[in-house]
Every structure is written in structure tokens, then in C-alpha cells.
Amino acid sequence: MPGINYAGVIMKFYVTEYFESIQGEGNYAGTNSLFIRFHFCNLTCCWCDTKYTWLKKSGKYKEFTRDELTGLIKNNIARHIVFTGGEPALYKLDELVCDSKKYHVESSGVLIPTESLNITLSDGTNFERDAMNEDIIKHFNWVISPKLSNSGQKIDKSYIRYWNEKEYCIFKFVIRNDKDLAEVDEVTGEFNISKQKVYICLEGTTIESQLRPALADKIIEYGFNYSPRLQVLLWGAKRGK
């Protein structure tokens, strides 16, 4: 069973897959990007479409050293590098910065990057890392996806306050229906989040799930940004896209 300990040893990075595609969601939708999908997650959202990243036995993954992963990044033609998962914030991402690249992190936001981490997942896998350097990660585009009640997760949402104070993040909420959208309005109101920073995605991996004009009209009425999942519209549920 892997243990990840940054203090005093060389940190390993566990990667489920990496691939080139376009960013399908959020404030950089359409951007040519290299995606690096990290393995392991501290959450288990019921609608997650990457459950193969959750735990040791959830799916296959490969171990990378820092030098191996930065070499992969340097040698790729894409300027935009998207760290996704799983939960990328389990890893010390500031160690992976290369010149001339723009970094994006897709995270639940529950794990605060500027705080040290020592967490044991449900399968006994332990992650320990030092705090990330904010002078470095403030240049990343952090796409924070707070989990609504539709995820089946019971989470203290106080971490949202931390992210709302950061100019380098946006919020992406995954919804299924009007009820979820009303919950987004409640959460953003509670933490005084600017609606300009909020992007609404529709849950699902079929074209039909993304083409819901009545729900899009509701998103417009609330004043939020709408973010269709371009990768779903183009390739459905195909992995590596």
C-alpha cells in the first residue's frame, strides 16, 4: 500500500493517465491543454465520472518522480497544463512548475494547499506533504468545485471562505436540476461569492445531459456563468478526452 511522505524523502506522484485535449469546462474552455490526472481522492461523490482514480484498487496508475513528471510537461507542446484527478491537492504541485507553462488545478477545494497535509484515505493510503508556496501557486488558475448535497458528501463548507479570498480561483458547481441551482445560490450568498466567478456545469456524460435549454435559462436568470462540458458534447464518456 503506497505511502506518500514529502518530509525527508523524495515525493512520488501517482498518475492515472495523461493526455492532450481541449479544456472542456470553466474559464479556459476550448484551450489546448495537457491533462495530468492524479490518482487517489479524499472524496467519493456519487456522480463522479472518474471513480477509477479514488483508491489503490479503483484502477491502474503509474508512479512518477518529480523529474519524470516535469520532463513530461516540458516536452509537451501544450502551454496549458491541467492538474486534475482524483484530487491534485494531495500532491505538492508547486514542485512541478516549468517555465513558459500556464497551470490549472481542478480541485474540490477541501484540502488547503498553503497548509501542510497529513491524511489517511479509507483504504489506508497515507499522504503527507508540506504546505505549497503561495508565491508560486497564486499564478495557477484554481478551479474549485464545492460539492453540493447531490454529491452524497457531508462536508464542512468553511473552506470556501479561504478560496473566496483568493483572486486566482473560480468556482465550478455541478448541478442536475433547479433544486441544485437554488443550493448554489444559497452557498454563494452565504459566502458572498461574486457571481462572475461562478460557473455552472451540468452533470452527465451524454449529449442529452448537456443540452438542457430550460435549465440554462434558469442559470441565466440567477446571473451565473454556464459551462457546458465540451468534452462530453464532442466525445461523450470517452476516456483520454
Interatomic CA distance for residues 171 and 102, integer angstroms = 19
The whole model's pTM is what?
A: 0.94
Report the pLDDT value the prediction gives residue 9, as an integer from 0 to 100: 52
Report the pLDDT value the prediction gives residue 2, as an integer from 0 to 100: 45
Q: How many CB atoms lie within 10 A of CB 140?
A: 20
Map out the domains of the chain with their CATH numbers: 3-235 (3.20.20.70)
Strands 117-120 and 126-129: antiparallel
Report the pLDDT value the prediction gives residue 11, as an integer from 0 to 100: 76
Over the chain (241 residues), the average pLDDT of each successive run of 10 is: 48 95 96 98 96 96 97 97 98 96 98 97 95 98 96 91 97 97 97 98 95 97 96 92 87
Report the pLDDT value the prediction gives residue 10, as an integer from 0 to 100: 62
